[in-house]
Amino acid sequence: MPGPVRVLFTGEQSPEYSHPGDAGADLRAAEDVLLAPGERALVGTGTAIALPDGHVAFVVPRSGLAARHGITIVNTPGTVDAGYRGEIKVILLNTDSSEPYQVRAGDRIAQVIVMQVPQTQFIRVGTLPGSSRGTGGFGSTGYGSINDAGSIDDAGSIDDAGKEGQLS
């Protein structure tokens, strides 16, 4: 197993893992922001990073903020490319319809996940090879639960012709 990825950073707060083995390191707000119900705001973290080539950082919501206060990130995951050297900022959204949310400098507002990514070569072809999924997407597997027989209960799906179908 390869060793840890070294990521240089500037700013007052280092991204920090809360528990051993966590995938996401917490990012903290560098400023106070009041989010009214339904409001979004760009919140600075005061942190900039230098990722090694071949790596990306994804900025994702914190589940506790979402569950307890309805605070999420608009463009999740936010992508920090290896060549970017500016401050990481987070677009927070208050989804609560009645309660404002106060972000204070130092609050943990998001997580950053660093991953290795291969460079991809895109090759134009006339047709794509087949797969078991085909073109099914956007609810094509239905919305019910999967029963012991492996089929979906109480859910409709859209077949390949785009017509409403019923699964059993």
Residue 62 has pLDDT above 90, yes or no: yes
Task: Write out the two tokens for 108.
Answer: 């943990």
Q: Are 139 and 75 within one domain?
A: no
Range of the domain at 59: 8-116
Full-model pTM: 0.78
Q: With bands split at pLDDT 50, 70 and 90, how would you rate the model's confidence at 100?
A: very high
- Bridge partners of 119, per DSSP, are none
Cα four-point dihedral sign 63, 65, 67, 71: negative
Number of domains forming the structure of the chain? 2
Q: What tokens appear for 128 in the block?
A: 């794509």
Reported as a pLDDT band with limits 50, 70 and 90, residue 112 is very high
Residue 58 domain flag = yes
| pLDDT grade for 140, boundaries at 50, 70 and 90 | confident
